[in-house]
Amino acid sequence: MESTTEKNIATFTHLSTLTQYFIPFGNYIFPIILWSTKKEQSEFVDHHGKQVLNFQLSLLLYSLVLLMIAIPSFLISVFNNMSLNALINDHDLNISNFNFEGNIILLTLGLLCILLFGFLKVAEFFLIIYASVKTSNGEKYQYPITISFIK
């Protein structure tokens, strides 16, 4: 049976990832601080600290992959119809002869990646809240789509 202190620390470990909206890399810094203070003393806090960090690292990996697909897709589709001389000689970026039909696959792929990224961020928010509620009730929670980096 977990004590109230263990439940609170584990719950705050989950909730501390929401600091990413105010402090850069807060979703890594604060969970690591909370987890490392009590991981040796409580199996419950240790479990949840690992879950939080694995989930955040997994989302970082998924986000980087999506952005690595989306950005080149958009750049290739924009610069596909431009000549190098037009880019060098003119100081203004002129995309007057853009061909949507020839670039629809790349544009769709880039847009799909951006939408998936947005879905991941919304799902992350609600999963953090859900995990916090489960943890405060004393249940062990595992995030979906998580790669176990820390075991």
The domain segmentation of the chain, as residue ranges, is: 4-136
Q: Tell me if 81 sits within 8 A of 99, measured CB to CB.
A: yes
Q: What's the pTM?
A: 0.83
- Percentage of the chain with pLDDT > 90? 62
Q: Which of 54, 65, 5 is nearest to 27 (CA)?
A: 54
Q: With 0-12 CB in 10 A as exposed, 13-18 as middle and 19+ as buried, what is 31?
A: buried
Q: What is the 3-state secondary structure of 88-129?
A: HHCCCCCCCCCCHHHHHHHHHHHHHHHHHHHHHHHHHHHHHH
Assess contact for 55 and 66: CB atoms under 8 A: no
Segment 92-147, tens digit of pLDDT: 555 555 566 767 888 889 899 999 999 999 999 999 999 999 999 989 999 999 99
pLDDT grade, residue 79 (50/70/90)? confident
Per-residue confidence (pLDDT) for residue 18, from 0 to 100: 93
pLDDT at 97: 59
